Amino acid sequence: MALPVNLRAVVDEMDAASDEMTAYINRSTGELITLTQEDISYAEQDGDPAFLPEWQEEIVAKAKKVLADSDSIELPGRFEIHEYSIMERFCFSVTDERVQNALLRAIKGRGAFRHFKDRIFEEDVREDWFPFREKALKGIAAEFLESQGVTFIDE
């Protein structure tokens, strides 16, 4: 049985993931790895891409192993995390009605993420946002790990 995974490490991997990067965890070992779409693409190709530099060959070999291993599972990505929903919940958690309304207006329409980040600074609630977001991400990670039977510690 694998040692418990550090929840903070899982959150960091999830937070770093993007359209170009995907994070995985091995259910048996607890190992975390983030692969680029390029690494995954090369790993899914048949044959040996001899044109790759040595350092990338190692990463592609690891990517092949991760993709072939049924114990390696993809961590929640941006669609499962749904950052907009976290921002919206934060807005509703703000008790000052004026600030709450300003934040809610900021997240409507085009540029919601940038407007929100500007507004939390202007309304001086930035220091409240980061712990709120952290707690939300930890909750998503913990729920995911529990659903996959992966033990974790929250330090």
Query: 3-state DSSP call for residue 144?
Result: helix
The residue range of the domain holding 136 is: 82-143
Interval 73-106: pLDDT, tens: 999 988 889 999 999 999 999 999 999 999 999 9
Interval 21-33: pLDDT, tens: 999 999 888 899 9
CB within 8 A of 63, min separation 6: which ones? 35, 39, 40, 42, 43
Alpha-carbon distances of 32 from 6, 25, 136, 147, rounded to whole Å? 10, 5, 20, 17
Both 94 and 129 in one domain: the answer is yes
Name the pTM for this structure: 0.85
Domains: count for the chain: 2
The answer to whether position 94 is within a domain reads: yes
End-of-domain residue from the set 23, 47, 77: 77
Q: How far, in Å, CA of 2 to CA of 16, rounded?
A: 24
The answer to whether position 149 is within a domain reads: no
